[in-house]
């Protein structure tokens, strides 16, 4: 079968690999019908060293169950399923608390090399299939597939940013980042009733989609100027919640600049830094809290899927390009060049 491998920065190839197959009684074999390239795939695409490769890519996919191990009970051959970007058993004490990304099962984890599988491929062996996979009540060619695919990561991650940020009806929110996660953090803040949603982003086609998703204001300036603009929009005080969907230190500093006393900085952009200010001059002085982390996308699927099925939300609008597997390397480059927001893959 064919799969996407990253050999190093800027070097993505689609190659023949051994066919995925059931190995454990808790596995399912899924034939991929839709997957995509993630903004987080762009970090290794920018910086991966050749000695760390090749790595199988893709952690967001929908597909048809082709085979199941003897212990799998919740999905069966022929089911259309979505896989979140973390493998989990959905039964341990962390999963029961809705923190599937901290699942205690030894086979739990991310699609990051263990197992050697990935969603940007023709098929995937899914460990802990009962916990990880969720059946979808539509056909593989449904027009809802792009929106349902966002349940695997970007919608759940944007929603997690808003939930961890404590967003509700009395909240003013700043979203930093106009990538797919930032835009779906806007949609999520709107869904949770936020009173004001300020989107910080510079790419007009994206910020227009952000307005369609519920942003009340757009600030294109960055740094000090951007912070000033948000403060002007909020009576000088900043916002209760800041949803940081980038991961650069400059985005963290921007978050510090626009968060209101007593507020929360909720980070879902994978931080590209290990150290950041948290002391008297940054978080402590005004009781500012730091929240966020890898989103337990699995925890939100049952809550968010009905809104997609009912057409209340259309998160699939973040896809602005579609390709087959052959076009995946070009898809990475288009996203790295910010020519595409998010590329849908139909293997």
Q: Which two tokens stand for residue 221?
A: 């300036």
Binding to Zn ion (CB under 5 A): which residues in 98-137?
A: 103
Nearest one of 53, 58, 36 to 126, comparing CA atoms: 58
Part in contact with Zn ion (CB under 5 A); list of ranges 29-37, 51-59, 80-88, 229-237:
80-88
Which of 267/298 has CB closer to Zn ion?
Answer: 298
Which of 48/134 has CB closer to Zn ion?
Answer: 134
State the CB neighbour count (10 A cutoff) for residue 78. Answer: 8
Determine if 242 is a binding residue for Zn ion (CB under 5 A): no
Which of 6/103 has CB closer to Zn ion?
Answer: 103
Integer Cα distance of 187 and 180 in angstroms: 11
Query: How many helices (H) and strands (E) are present in the chain, helices listed first?
Result: 11, 18
In this structure, what DSSP letter does residue 283 have? T
Taking a C-beta distance cutoff of 8 angstroms, is the pair 226, 254 a contact?
yes
* Residue selected from 68, 88, 239, 254 as contacting Zn ion according to rule CB under 5 A: 88
In this structure, what DSSP letter does residue 121 have? B
* 225 contact partners, CB below 8 Å, separation of at least 6: none
Which of 91/333 has CB closer to Zn ion?
Answer: 91
Part in contact with Zn ion (CB under 5 A); list of ranges 92-100, 306-314, 316-324, 328-336:
92-100
Instruction: Report the side by side order of strands in the sheet with 11-16.
Output: 11-16, 2-8, 55-56
CB of 99 to Zn ion, least distance (A): 8
Residue at token pair 């973040």: 318
Part in contact with Zn ion (CB under 5 A); list of ranges 83-91, 215-223, 272-280, 321-329:
83-91
Q: Which two tokens stand for residue 300?
A: 């939100």
Which of 103/123 has CB closer to Zn ion?
Answer: 103
CB of 243 to Zn ion, least distance (A): 26
Which of 32/103 has CB closer to Zn ion?
Answer: 103
Determine if 89 is a binding residue for Zn ion (CB under 5 A): yes
CB of 104 to Zn ion, least distance (A): 6
CB of 118 to Zn ion, least distance (A): 22
Integer Cα distance of 197 and 211 in angstroms: 9
Part in contact with Zn ion (CB under 5 A); list of ranges 84-92, 215-223, 239-247, 286-294:
84-92
Which of 30/95 has CB closer to Zn ion?
Answer: 95
Binding to Zn ion (CB under 5 A): which residues in 19-78?
A: none
Determine if 95 is a binding residue for Zn ion (CB under 5 A): yes
CB of 89 to Zn ion, least distance (A): 4
Part in contact with Zn ion (CB under 5 A); list of ranges 32-40, 45-53, 89-97, 180-188:
89-97
In Å, what is the CA distance from 76 to each residue of 71, 81, 115, 297, 328? Answer: 11, 10, 21, 22, 29
* 103 contact partners, CB below 8 Å, separation of at least 6: 86, 87, 88, 89, 90, 92, 94, 95, 131
Which of 90/171 has CB closer to Zn ion?
Answer: 90
Question: Which residues contribute to the site for Zn ion (CB under 5 A)?
Answer: 88-89, 92, 95, 103
């Amino acid at each position: 079968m064919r799969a996407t491998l990253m050999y190093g920065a800027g070097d993505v190839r689609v190659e023949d690999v051994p066919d995925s197959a059931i190995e454990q009684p808790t596995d399912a074999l899924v034939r991929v019908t839709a997957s995509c390239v993630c903004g987080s795939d762009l970090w290794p695409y920018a910086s991966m060293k050749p000695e760390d490769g090749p790595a199988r890519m893709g952690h967001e996919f929908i597909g048809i169950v082709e085979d199941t191990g003897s212990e799998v009970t919740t999905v069966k051959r022929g089911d259309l399923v979505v896989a979140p970007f973390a493998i989990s058993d959905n039964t341990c004490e962390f999963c029961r608390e809705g923190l599937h990304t901290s699942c205690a099962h030894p086979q739990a984890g991310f699609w990051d090399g263990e197992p050697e599988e990935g969603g940007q491929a023709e098929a995937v062996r899914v460990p802990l299939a009962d916990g990880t996979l969720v059946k979808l009540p539509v056909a593989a060619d449904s027009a809802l597939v792009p929106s349902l695919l966002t349940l695997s990561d970007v919608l759940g991650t944007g929603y997690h940013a808003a939930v961890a940020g404590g967003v509700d009806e009395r909240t003013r929110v700043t979203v930093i980042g106009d990538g797919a996660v930032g835009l779906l953090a806007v949609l999520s803040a709107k869904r949770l009733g936020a009173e004001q949603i300020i989107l910080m982003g510079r790419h007009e086609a994206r910020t227009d989609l952000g307005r369609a998703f519920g942003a009340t204001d757009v600030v294109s300036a960055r740094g000090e100027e951007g912070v000033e603009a948000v403060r002007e929009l909020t009576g000088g005080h900043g916002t209760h919640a800041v949803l940081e969907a980038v991961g650069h230190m400059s985005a963290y500093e921007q978050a510090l600049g626009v968060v209101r006393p007593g507020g929360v900085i909720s980070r879902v952009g994978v931080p590209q830094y290990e150290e950041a200010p948290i002391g008297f001059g940054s978080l402590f002085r005004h009781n500012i809290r730091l929240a966020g982390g890898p989103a337990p996308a699995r925890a939100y699927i049952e809550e968010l899927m009905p809104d997609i099925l009912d057409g209340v939300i259309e998160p699939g609008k973040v896809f602005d390009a579609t390709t087959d597997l052959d076009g995946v390397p070009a898809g990475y480059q288009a996203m790295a060049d910010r020519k595409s927001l998010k590329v849908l893959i139909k293997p």
